[in-house]
Amino acid sequence: MLQIETFQSGAPDSTMILASDQLPILDNPLQCTEEQCFVLEIPVTENDIHKWAQAERPEECVHVAAAGRRARSEVHVKNLNLDDRILFEKAKDAELECWLQTNALRPILRKSLNPEQILKSRWVLTWKNIEDAPPGTPIAKLKLDWLS
């Protein structure tokens, strides 16, 4: 059975020690097994964004903004129509062909590799607007994202 623990900032709990930001300090942090994952949700208000813009080092806030922007721009295959899926398949084929032509990678039989040498990855699909193209004519772009 899945057990979910939720900690709320500022929630009264006499058994929990809170840091200066009112978030819990855990003596025994959670350990993630292969079948589990952690979700960290950080509520960001408009006031927070204004504070960051006026901060002495606003570049430290870029990671939060960049992650949100990337999530909105990523395209999911399940949401594409057949024509768009074909565009992304052609883009994928072109990317792989380019790698082969430039010797960035070479084909190899899987059975000749140690399984630990195989890197897990996924394709990240996005639409890219080209300045020279007519308006509303996005180009299918993709990149290979290596998973750790």
Span 57-99, pLDDT tens digits: 777 666 655 555 555 578 888 889 999 999 999 999 998 888 8
Listed residue (96, 114, 113) closest to 105, CA to CA: 96
pLDDT at position 37: 66
Whole-number Å distance between alpha carbons of 104 and 98: 8
- CB of 61 closer than 8 Å to CB of 55: yes
Parts of the chain with a pLDDT under 70: 1-32, 34-42, 60-72, 131-133, 135-136, 148
> CA torsion angle for 117, 123, 129, 132 (degrees, to 10)?
50
Q: Which amino acid is at 2?
A: L
Token look-up 């290596």 returns 146
- Domain boundaries defined on the chain: 40-75, 79-146
* pTM of this structure: 0.48
Burial class (CB in 10 A: 0-12, 13-18, 19+), 34: exposed
